[in-house]
Amino acid sequence: MDLVERRIGLLFALFLGLLAIAAVRAGYMGVVKGGGLSNVASSQQVDERVVPARRGAITDRHGAPLATSEPADDVSATPYLVKNPVAVAAKLAPILGVEEATLVKELARRDTGFVYLARRLPADKADKVKALGLEGVDLTPGYLRAYPRGMLASQVIGAVGTDGNGLFGLEYERDKALRGRDGEQRTVFDGGRDAISVRDVAPTVPGAGLRLTLDAEVQARTEEVLQGVGETFRPKGASAIVMDPRSGHVLAMANWPRINANDPGSAPAWATQNRAVGFTFEPGSTFKAFTVAGALEDGEVTPSTSFNLPPKIQVADRLIGESHDRGYVTLDTAGIVAQSSNVGSIMIGQRLGAKRFDHWVRRFGFGRPTGVALPGEEQGVVLDLDDYSGSSMGNLPIGQGELVTPIQMAAAYSAIANGGVLRTPQIVQAVDGRPVRRAPGRRVVSSRTAFELRKMLAGVFAPGGTASEVAIPGYELAGKTGTANKVDAASGTYSEERYVASFVGMAPAERPRLLISVLVDEPKGAIYGGEVAAPAFGKIASFALPYLRIPPS
């Protein structure tokens, strides 16, 4: 009997001991490890994910798509639910385009409950992943940014990164409006990871669409012409702007070399710069038009005012001549403009005087951004009147000693084309279907002065003018060539080898409806604006005038 009682007592003691151990274990799991286990259970049962908003489309003025957002999924995994990482990686690698070893490493992780395997996977490939039905592999709906026209206006439109943020161009400048507002979705799973409840915690708000003033066909032709300039003259870079001077609408803004917006990483970082707004240069002879405009408006000269021009002119310590040697000659104001005389332009500037010259330079918008609403716009450099030296009125009236941007030159010449009214260049026409309010124009010179100047600029295309080889049958053209030495950074003096060739022109000359600016940085084989940039103007205008149904003169 004692033996039976002892056995019962031992069994009871063992039972009490096991019960005590279980109680301690339960207390440890509930108090010490409770928070962590609760989080793990929650992570397996509840999933809260961001639902990306569809990025707004970018179109040209006619609605042709330039940037779109196409359905694409992010592929992710819950590593501890993937039973055989090697087998899963073998199935996913050819679809995702990722090395198997890389996928195995991610799928075998045990330090996290979530890893990305691919971002923005196109819908056709995402469907293949979904069809595999792999446990622990999930797809989150999203969008892939695409640029249907590839290189077209790529520096203007820009691109986005894998995280959906704008990197440069309008994608960067208008990122907040384009991207919209992401939503949030909460999914509850059962023990088998089947969704039993899906709820939108916060709805997505699609991004706003942008309709630009650009015309895709004019843009394409402008880029084609610049490509030819690049292949012929092998410059450091080139840009061209096409505007409607009446409204300030930018119809084309092209840069060379071009980049592919669908693969911006394949181009060097400097190529993403929009040179049309971010490149500063000494304009050279194209600036002479504003010297003459101020003198006309102030009554210091008329188109027929005659000047006896020596071969060279002394201004303080500088002796300045023409781009080509010549003897004494008599030219009127119109002839000085047509033949781009340095000596004549300086003499007109001297009649105007430093104070009034500075006034007109600033009145035409130089020295400050145009407000075109594109990122990276430079304001240029205009010398303060107090900083003028004795020789300043020898170099400033002929476009040396100040820095401008291509968009500033295009806007200022548009004022001449638009009857003396300066308008802010506009690139975005509407946001989410709502027209962007156009800034009011500002009169800078009288309509008479603008008309007289256009007539003089038409002489540039006449025999003896600096662009006499450019012509478009049926249209009278007006414009100005420019050839400017670049400053050598090492010596601080003007280089004899590096130049900027430019041309700004308008058509028809009497009532312009088209303004085209072309700039070529460091061309090789030829340097003069009349040889390098003016023919490009002619080719662009030859297409744009009939395409835009602008009647002949």
In terms of DSSP bridges, do strands 58-59 and 210-212 run parallel, antiparallel, or are they unpaired? Answer: parallel
The two tokens of residue 382 are: 């205009």
Query: In angstroms, rounded to a whole number, what is the distance separating the alpha carbons of residues 428 and 169?
Result: 12
For residue 237, count other CB atoms closer than 10 A to its CB. Answer: 18
In the chain, how long is the greatest CA-to-CA distance? 145
Name the residue with tokens 């063992």: 14
Return the active site residues.
Answer: 285
What does the angle CA 402 – CA 403 – CA 404 come to, to the nearest 5 degrees?
125
Please name the residues in contact with 163: beta carbons below 8 A apart, sequence gap of 6 or more.
Answer: none
The answer to whether residues 241 and 410 touch, using CB atoms and an 8 Å cutoff, is yes
The answer to whether residues 284 and 483 touch, using CB atoms and an 8 Å cutoff, is yes
DSSP 8-state symbol, 30? I
Report the sign of the C-alpha dihedral through residues 294, 299, 305, 307, in that order: negative
**H runs (alpha helix) in 321-404:** 333-339, 342-352, 354-363, 392-395
- Can you tell me whether residue 279 is helix, strand or coil? coil
Query: In angstroms, rounded to a whole number, what is the distance separating the alpha carbons of residues 158 and 70?
Result: 17
